[in-house]
Amino acid sequence: MTKQFVTDLAVFGGPPAFTEVLHVGRPNIGDRDRLLARIDEMLDRRWLTNHGPFVAELEAKLAAFLGVKHVIAMCNGTVALEIAARALGLNGEVIVPAFTFVATAHALQWQEITPVFCDVDPQTHLLDPARVEAMITPRTSGIVGVHLWGQPCNVDALAEIAQRRGLRLLYDAAHAFACSRDQRMIGNFGDAEVFSFHATKFFNTFEGGAVATNDDDLAQRIRLMQNFGFTGLDTVVYIGVNGKMSEVSAAMGLTGLEGLDTFVAANRRNYDCYAAALAGVPGLRMLRYDRQEHQNYQYIVLEVDEAAGISRDVLVRVLHAENVRARRYFYPGVHRMEPYRSYFPHAGLLLPVTERLAGQVLVLPTGTAVSPDDIAQIAQLIAFAVANGPAISRELNRLEKSAA
């Protein structure tokens, strides 16, 4: 529905553009019949978890897909990060970006490893290797890079720093399943890489995750830690937790793998629609992916700067009222969340790019649940809001004052 006047916007009482809410991270489901057949098979087998045949099949298929020696399927990405960090012997301080999901830092702090927040590159939003070097102290044991939005970190520069300074290098690849760097799949870089297969991810196992590594010893330690440290029926040789993936999750994963091309195609189509429809809207920058690489195109990321004449937060308010649930990932920055805010109240001084991005970035709905028509409407709404930014902000202020 085209908006003619500012007062037509739902935020001012007009009818919302969408009757149903459009979400970021609507799960890709895949072939329902194939999934239900697998669940039937699993129930008939009465083998529901603890390294069942679906988990084994999924791990083998993931390893082949990524071209990596070991894939260890996990119950979620956060536990996978915790186990990988522990198996790598991370301790003291570890350098991480603050422009990420809070789990990246929590996985360390949970084990009393101090995350040291490092700023990111303004174009890619990825850890800036030059700044990483400056954050290293005698207590630093490693670096956790995040392949944010599915883009690969500067893996060469980070590997060089890690090697020269004797640090472990772990990647949080939660966003980067099915993405590549120089045609090499993410999963092959650093000491290990951790995927999330959460429902909101491009490829999901309801809840789930995995560690990928080419290091045999590390893979062995991770497997032990993931299963309480058991090596035999009654033998425990290591401290461990329960990080196992269940069979029903693996069934979802196997079904999702069969639908991967369809998911990518829908995301790429949506990405192209957004790029075309938003080109030329002042003050907006849409994050561009390298089309020469494998990409999952799962995140439609916009930066809204001063030239837009509307703040990111007002734009999000306008979109939410229209039932477009755009997200302010990763506002306000992990360093501004507890416990980090209390531990490091001045961290923001060293994170100017993170601070700016936390105030300017928004992520738009995509995936198989979003159609090109939806995108045309969302883009129209955004263009309308930008064209009328000052009037919208004035009217919102006026309403707030009169309500107070």
Residues that bind ligand T4K (CB under 6 A): 23-27, 76-78, 100-101, 103-104, 146, 172, 174-175, 196, 198-200, 209, 325, 329
Compute the distance between CA of residue 142 and CA of residue 371 in angstroms, rounded to an integer: 42
Query: Tokens 């069969």 map to which residue?
Result: 258
Q: Which is nearer to ligand T4K, 3 or 181 (CB)?
A: 181
Q: Provide the minimum distance between the beta carbon of 340 and ligand T4K in the complex, in angstroms, as a whole number.
A: 15
Q: What are the beta bridge partners of residue 40?
A: none
Query: Tokens 């297969």 map to which residue?
Result: 197
CA dihedral 310, 316, 321, 326 (to 10 degrees): 150
Q: Which is nearer to ligand T4K, 249 or 388 (CB)?
A: 249
Q: Which is nearer to ligand T4K, 83 or 392 (CB)?
A: 83
Decide: helix, strand or coil at residue 256. Answer: helix
Compute the distance between CA of residue 87 and CA of residue 72 in angstroms, rounded to an integer: 13
Q: Provide the minimum distance between the beta carbon of 208 and ligand T4K in the complex, in angstroms, as a whole number.
A: 7
Q: Which is nearer to ligand T4K, 21 or 276 (CB)?
A: 21
Q: What's the token pair of residue 92?
A: 């003291």
What are φ and ψ of residue 245, in 5° steps? -90, 145
171 within 8 A of 193, measured Cβ to Cβ: yes
Q: Which is nearer to ligand T4K, 91 or 100 (CB)?
A: 100
Q: Provide the minimum distance between the beta carbon of 258 and ligand T4K in the complex, in angstroms, as a whole number.
A: 20
Q: Provide the minimum distance between the beta carbon of 318 and ligand T4K in the complex, in angstroms, as a whole number.
A: 17
What are φ and ψ of residue 168, in 5° steps? -80, 150
Decide: helix, strand or coil at residue 44. Answer: helix
Q: Which is nearer to ligand T4K, 208 or 240 (CB)?
A: 208
Q: Provide the minimum distance between the beta carbon of 210 and ligand T4K in the complex, in angstroms, as a whole number.
A: 10
- Write the CB contacts of 44 (distance below 8 Å, at least 6 apart in sequence): none
Q: Which is nearer to ligand T4K, 203 or 271 (CB)?
A: 203
- Write the CB contacts of 289 (distance below 8 Å, at least 6 apart in sequence): 150, 151, 271, 295, 297
- Give the residue nearest to ligand T4K (CB): 77
Tell me the CA end-to-end span of the chain in Å, nearest whole number: 32
Q: Provide the minimum distance between the beta carbon of 400 and ligand T4K in the complex, in angstroms, as a whole number.
A: 25
Q: What is the DSSP letter of 28?
A: P
Q: Strands 180-181, 184-185: parallel, antiparallel or unpaired by DSSP?
A: antiparallel
Q: Which is nearer to ligand T4K, 3 or 198 (CB)?
A: 198
Q: Provide the minimum distance between the beta carbon of 158 and ligand T4K in the complex, in angstroms, as a whole number.
A: 16
Q: Provide the minimum distance between the beta carbon of 367 and ligand T4K in the complex, in angstroms, as a whole number.
A: 9
Compute the distance between CA of residue 271 and CA of residue 298 in angstroms, rounded to an integer: 9
